[in-house]
Structure 1
Amino acid sequence: MSESASHPVRNACTWCGREIVESERGRRRKYCKRSCRQRAYEQRSLTEGTSISSDSLILSPDELTSLGDRLFALRCAVEDLDTAIAEGEDRNELLVLSRNLVVQAKEAERLR
């Protein structure tokens, strides 16, 4: 099912993971802004001539720790929702937990 021009296409920046909203016209953008495109170019240049694949994602220790923290928060949000469902929580509580889960998932998706 294809989206019409009235429904914007959504995809994620290949560098930082932020959402890119654009029309269906033209080629899809890979990066949300010029700085992301520049960082990706720099990484490709640094890996050129090495055994590291050009499409590898290289994270600093701080970035890796941050990603781990966001994934842990996401897992906790999933467990909270699972527990609430098992305990028969009311619809409003489940809605709050569900929205928190979406927020944590979007945050975890961000790579930088």
Structure 2
Amino acid sequence: MAGTSRRPESCVWCGRQVPDIGIGRRRRYCRQSCRQRAYEQRAAVRGTTIAPDSMVLTAIEATAVMDRMFEVRCAAEDVATAAAEGAAPDEVAALCADLVRLAREAERFR
């Protein structure tokens, strides 16, 4: 695949960026501990009606995900309002930077 660039992948367990080693299969986990947690999760649901690729979150983790999603929506609404009201470009840029930061944080499940 010479000449093609590979986009950064997210860890399937925690959502962090997975380092690209450049050769072989793409890594699915950012570190060994995430790989181990994913294995433990698969082992825990084995023999149940829960799908093996399901992600089971505690109530606290689920609430944290919902809170981060709410923050992203509010930040997006702030950008839309600023743009509609003709805010200065530097103000819109700052709001966009905040939105991107919140979106990156929201990608993490754990």
Shorter-chain TM-score range: over 0.9
Q: Distance in 1 between matches of 2:20 and 2:14?
A: 17
Report how far residue 26 of structure 1 moved: 1.2
**Equivalent position to 2:4, from 2, 5, 12:** 2
Report how far residue 9 of structure 1 moved: 4.0
TM-score by length of 1: 0.92
Q: Which piece of structure 1 moves more, 74-83 or 15-24?
A: 15-24
**Equivalent position to 2:10, from 12, 15, 20:** 12
TM-score by length of 2: 0.93
Give unpaired runs (5+ residues) of structure 1: none
Q: What is the aligned-residue RMSD (CA, Å)?
A: 1.3
Q: 1:56-76 deviations in whole A, cap 9, x for unaligned? A: 010000100100110010001
Report how far residue 81 of structure 1 moved: 0.2
Give unpaired runs (5+ residues) of structure 2: none
Q: Look up the match of 2:99.
A: 101
Find out whether 1:111 has 2:109 as its counterpart: yes
Q: 1:29-64 deviations in whole A, cap 9, x for unaligned? A: 000011100110001001111110000010000100
* Identity %, equivalent residues: 48
Q: Distance in 2 between matches of 1:86 and 1:2?
A: 39
Aligned pairs for 1:22-61 within 5 A: 22-61=20-59
Q: Look up the match of 2:80.
A: 82
Q: 1:74-101 deviations in whole A, cap 9, x for unaligned? A: 0010000000000000110010001001
Q: Distance in 1 between matches of 2:38 and 2:23?
A: 24
1:12–1:19 Cα contact (<8 Å) kept: yes
